A and B are shown apart, each in its own frame.
Chain A
Amino acid sequence: MFGQILFITMALVIVVTSIGVVAVRNPVRSALNLVANFFALAVLYLFLYAQFVAAVQIIVYAGAIMVLFLFTIMLLNLGSPSELSERGEIKRPVTWGLALLFVIVLAGGVFVRLPEAQPTADDLGTVQMVGKFLFTDWVYPFELTSILLLIAIVGAIVMAKRRL
Chain B
Amino acid sequence: MDAVPISWYLILSAFMFAMGVTGVVIKRNPIVIFMCIELMLNAANLAFLAFARQQAQLGAQVAGQVFVILVMAVAAAEVAIGLGIIVAIYRLRDTINVDEMNLLKF
Q: Which residues of A contact B (CB under 8 A)?
A: 2-4, 6-7, 11, 14-15, 18-19, 21-22, 27, 30-31, 34, 37-38, 41, 44-45, 47-50, 52-53, 56-57, 60-61, 64-65, 68-69, 72-73, 75-76, 78, 84-86, 91-92, 95-96, 98-100, 102-103, 106-107, 109-111, 114-118, 120-121, 124-125, 129-130, 132-134, 137-138, 141-142, 145, 148-149, 151-153, 155-156, 159-160, 162
Contacts and interface: CB of A to CB of B under 8 A. Distances in A.
Nearest to B15: A103
B103 interface: no
B84 A145 contact: no
Contacts of A75: 87
B19 A18 contact: yes
Contact of B77 (A41, A84, A129, A149): A149
Contact of A27 (B2, B32, B85): B32
B101 interface: no
B25 interface: yes
Given A110-B11, A116-B54, A155-B81, A21 B23 contact: yes
Given A69-B34, A106-B17, A111 B63 contact: no
Interface string B15-35: 111111111011111011011
Contacts, number: 237
Interface of B: 1-12, 14-23, 25-29, 31-32, 34-36, 38-39, 42, 45-46, 49-50, 52-56, 58-59, 61-63, 65-66, 68-70, 72-81, 83-88, 90-91, 96-97
B73 A76 contact: no
A120 B9 CA distance: 18
- The A interface, classified by DSSP as helix, strand, loop or mixed, is helix
